[in-house]
């Protein structure tokens, strides 16, 4: 008698202590739902444990992106003139539009969680589809920005060119260059800015791509009605991930695009 918890005793226990864990079907029988795990006392406890686990994962993500942000902070202080002029080469209208697109995507994700909570299946599917569309739109704008960097020879590597920074082009409106020329050695350091730009926005875009793949999967499951009978955890926890990716962009946009915009000269 190593263990007194027998399988039958366990089921009895489930029905007694886990009021949320089983539902009563039309024939008056108790049905244990497959998504409910037997090692939790209540559905609420299971839900909280799930949120807790998701947040622990997001904390590791904070540390991961935090390292990139720290590298940016450090190099920006070391090579400030190079970072200032290189930052001003980024496309602010597209970056701002992308911020609005991403916030809209997050808004629909939040509404999706609400739709799952109130068990509206069609609305949930619709909200997940909108979330996906705006996520893809973000990546489309991002791809256009990357293409602009390619045309300007601002992608680090063999074709990288500092000529725009050692020899700033004349602005036809003002008749003089927008930026002061950099010394060649300082101009070399603009490549570090663009390396960090691609590393940070690239890792962010990679997270978006993973999120969009997960969205396809969740939309399919939502369409089958898996999340409209009180089981919301996958939608809710994916929502946490999606909002986290939003937050990373909320910091990337001002730090990469905006903080050197004001006229310095």
Partner 1 sequence: MAHEVSHDQAHDPSNVTNPEHAEHHIVTPIQYCLVFATLLVGTAITVAAAYVNMGAFNPVIALAIACTKAVIVILFFMHVKYQSRLIKLTVGAGFFAFIILVTMTLLDYISRAWGMW
Q: How far is the CB of 56 from partner 1 (least distance, A)?
A: 7
Q: Which two tokens stand for residue 143?
A: 């791809």
Distance CA 238, CA 249 (A): 17
Distance CA 64, CA 209 (A): 17
Nearer to partner 1, 32 or 160 (CB): 32
Q: How far is the CB of 157 from partner 1 (least distance, A)?
A: 27
Q: How far is the CB of 153 from partner 1 (least distance, A)?
A: 25
Q: Which two tokens stand for residue 17?
A: 């202590």
Nearer to partner 1, 129 or 258 (CB): 258
The alpha carbon torsion through 243, 133, 212, 121 (nearest 10 deg) reads 80
Binding stretches for partner 1 (CB under 8 A): 1-5, 9, 13, 17, 41-42, 44-45, 47-48, 51-52, 55-56, 58-59, 62-63, 66, 70, 73-74, 92, 96, 99-100, 103-104, 106-107, 109-111, 113-114, 117-118, 236, 239-240, 243-244, 246-247, 250-251, 253-255, 257-264
Nearer to partner 1, 155 or 200 (CB): 200
Q: How far is the CB of 64 from partner 1 (least distance, A)?
A: 11
**213 phi and psi, to 5 degrees?**
-60, -45
Nearer to partner 1, 83 or 165 (CB): 83
Nearer to partner 1, 110 or 126 (CB): 110
Distance CA 201, CA 206 (A): 8
Distance CA 15, CA 209 (A): 42
The secondary element (H helix, E strand) that includes residue 217 is helix 190-223
């Amino acid at each position: 008698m190593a263990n007194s918890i027998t399988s039958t005793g366990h089921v009895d226990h489930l029905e007694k202590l886990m009021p949320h864990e089983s539902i009563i079907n039309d024939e008056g029988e108790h049905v244990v739902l497959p998504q409910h795990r037997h090692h939790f006392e209540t559905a609420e406890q299971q839900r909280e444990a799930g949120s807790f686990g998701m947040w622990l994962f997001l904390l590791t993500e904070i540390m991961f992106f935090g390292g990139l942000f720290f590298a940016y902070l450090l190099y920006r202080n070391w090579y400030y003139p190079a970072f200032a002029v290189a930052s001003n080469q980024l496309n602010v209208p597209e970056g701002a539009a992308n911020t609005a697109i991403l916030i809209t995507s997050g808004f629909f994700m939040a509404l999706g969680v609400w739709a799952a909570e109130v068990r509206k299946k069609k609305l949930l599917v619709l909200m997940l589809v909108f979330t996906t569309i705006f996520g893809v739109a973000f990546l489309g704008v991002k791809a256009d920005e990357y293409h602009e960097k390619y045309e300007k020879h601002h992608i680090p590597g063999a074709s990288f060119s500092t000529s725009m920074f050692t020899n700033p082009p004349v602005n036809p409106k003002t008749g003089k260059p927008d930026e002061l020329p950099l010394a060649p050695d300082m101009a070399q350091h603009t490549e570090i800015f663009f390396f960090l730009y691609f590393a940070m926005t690239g890792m962010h875009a990679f997270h978006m791509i993973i999120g969009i793949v997960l969205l396809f999967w969740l939309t399919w499951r939502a369409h089958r009605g898996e999340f409209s009978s009180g089981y919301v955890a996958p939608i809710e926890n994916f929502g946490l991930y999606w909002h986290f990716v939003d937050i990373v962009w909320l910091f990337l946009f001002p730090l990469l695009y905006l903080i050197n915009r004001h006229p310095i000269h």
